[in-house]
Structure 1
Amino acid sequence: MQIAIQGEPGSFSHEAALKFFPEATIVPCSYSPEVFRRLVDGDVDAAAIPIENSLAGSVVEHYDLLLTHDVAVERETLLGIHHNLIAVPGAQIERLVRVYSHPIALAQCRRFFAEHPQIEPVPYYDTAGSVKQLMELRDRSCGAIASAQAAAYYGGEVLAPNLEDNAENYTRFFLMRRRNEVAANQQANKVSLAFQVENRPGTLVGALQAFVDQQINLTKIESRPVPGKPWQYIFYTDYQLASPELAEKALQLLDEHCSMVKELGRYSAGQIEG
């Protein structure tokens, strides 16, 4: 099993991929479009992507890529996110002047930087990538914020664990496959869906009424602009699935109000562990 991820080995995406398949071979990619391209082209068997963080919100780029590629969500998992200050062995917090990490990780550790004003937070493309760079440079005046797994993978030292401002920090990850290879899940209790309503009065209300009429519980809805079509929007929703028949009925009713409907996946909802 080869699973593509965006980022370097030791990243949170790496950890999530191993939750899906502990014996998987991880295929790191520099950018998210590369993850989707490799999956569609058949270079890998599956891909693991973050889709939403409980503090930072949705990864909107991944919603857009899900919409435009012939893939589907097969599984979901929730990963607790714990940020660690990592440095070259022998470094000291008091002597650090810069700390690198992904912008979202830096934003989730504001308290640490407020307590250490001499340290400059520096955005980097990936949490684990920042540790990889750190260990290549061997600069004891710099640090990185990433997972404990990244520290172990690259040989860094954890100077301070659990830097996150909020302990209730979780990220939803999707496991995707090519659409024609996703098997029906008889235990599925959640659906992710994208739709675009007709540009006329009442269409969004009518689309949402389709869920109400079937007593379907919407757990998430947000809009994204349609590229090249100003002031037109795609709506992304998650809803709880009571039965496959209800899902089919909801799709049928949505078609009456929408110019586009695409089911992104039916799967079992991830659960917070511990």
Structure 2
Amino acid sequence: MASLRVAYQGVPGAYSQLAVEKAYANCVAVPCQEFENAFQAVEKGVVDRAVLPIENSLGGSIHRNHDLLLRHNLHIVGEVKVVVRHCLLANHGVKLEHLKRVLSHPQALAQCENTLAKFGIATEAANDTAGSAQYIAANQLKDVGAIASATAAIIYGLNVLIEDIQDNSFNITRFLLLSREPITPSIDKPFKTSIVISLYEGPGALFKALAVFSLRQINLTKIESRPIRDASNSSLCFNYFFHLDIEASMADQNMQNALRHLQEFATSVRVLGSYPLDNSMT
């Protein structure tokens, strides 16, 4: 049987690759340059799944992927959480005092800013963490470091100057597992359901939407607003979609009743996926 092919954004050594390996052991991990490319690879059947970050415990939501979930017709079939442990990497022979600047993804730089400030090292934003490690290794830079994973150090032959350089040890990224087809939800284990809704403008509209879950003792774990991009109607410039994460399975009758209630007054309701909850922290 052929191995599952799973797309992720970045280059080998990226935290997204670590998430792929945690979610799908023995799969073929397929790197993609952009998040959009990973979505497209699943849609076109080039890969079977995509594993993409949706939020970080320190940096918040990855808005790009919230928007791409709306644009593409893929289904969330799972989630995986990865503890992010940043390392300061450099070429062999380079010491901490030699570094004039450090490259990494903006979110990684922000998560390490206090530590880097103590060392007086300037920062420079790059597209991703592992890509920064790849760049300084390929160019044999002697005064530039990178913030990336310990795995990236091994892959690109770099030295780890400092482990766990992040300012806060509670640094976890949640990834979504995406597929062309949904899975069948059940009630035999904890599930989460992600939906996107839009509402008519007016006082209490959002309160009314959230109340359909509160009335049924259904817990919401996240709400995220994203603008409705409708250039044809200027009155919609500041209307929003709302992404909701709900601790309930679509197989649960209470959840089905809540969505039916919501559909009575919402302008749109789309279920992005109903999938097993990941409570692990590794």
1:165 equivalent in structure 2? 167
SS state at 1:94 partner: helix
The TM-score with structure 1 as length reference comes to: 0.95
2:206 equivalent in structure 1? 204
Displacement after TM superposition at 1:19 (Å): 0.4
Mapped partners of 1:122, 1:85: distance in 2: 14
Mapped partners of 1:85, 1:244: distance in 2: 46
2:233 equivalent in structure 1? none
Contact 1:6–1:29 (Cα < 8 Å) also in 2? yes
1:266 equivalent in structure 2? 274
1:106 equivalent in structure 2? 109
1:249 equivalent in structure 2? 257
The unaligned stretches of length 5 or more in structure 1 are none
Matched, 1:97 2:100: yes
Contact 2:132–2:147 (Cα < 8 Å) also in 1? yes
Displacement after TM superposition at 1:203 (Å): 2.6
Mapped partners of 1:204, 1:94: distance in 2: 53
Mapped partners of 1:204, 1:142: distance in 2: 48
If each structure's strand is expressed as a fraction of its own residues, which one has the higher value? 1
Amino acid at match of 2:205: T
2:54 equivalent in structure 1? 51
1:1-274 aligned at under 5 Å gives the runs 1-117=4-120, 119-178=121-180, 181-186=181-186, 187-228=189-230, 229-241=236-248, 244-273=252-281
Alpha-carbon displacement from aligned partner over 1:95-130 (angstroms, at most 9, x marks no partner) = 01111000000000012221111x211100010000
Mapped partners of 1:68, 1:199: distance in 2: 23
Amino acid at match of 2:6: I
Mapped partners of 1:218, 1:273: distance in 2: 20
The TM-score with structure 2 as length reference comes to: 0.92
The unaligned stretches of length 5 or more in structure 2 are 231-235
Amino acid at match of 1:261: V
Mapped partners of 1:188, 1:215: distance in 2: 15
Amino acid at match of 2:126: Y
SS state at 1:182 partner: coil
Mapped partners of 2:135, 2:46: distance in 1: 27
Amino acid at match of 1:271: N
What is the aligned length? 271
Amino acid at match of 1:25: V
Contact 2:183–2:274 (Cα < 8 Å) also in 1? no
Alpha-carbon displacement from aligned partner over 1:75-96 (angstroms, at most 9, x marks no partner) = 1111001100011111111001
RMSD after superposition: 1.4
Contact 1:206–1:257 (Cα < 8 Å) also in 2? no
Contact 1:67–1:262 (Cα < 8 Å) also in 2? no
SS state at 1:211 partner: helix
Amino acid at match of 2:185: N
Alpha-carbon displacement from aligned partner over 1:41-75 (angstroms, at most 9, x marks no partner) = 11110000000100110111111111221111111
Mapped partners of 1:136, 1:200: distance in 2: 56
Amino acid at match of 2:237: P
Displacement after TM superposition at 1:199 (Å): 2.6
Mapped partners of 1:174, 1:185: distance in 2: 16
Mapped partners of 1:250, 1:260: distance in 2: 14
SS state at 1:133 partner: helix
Amino acid at match of 2:45: G
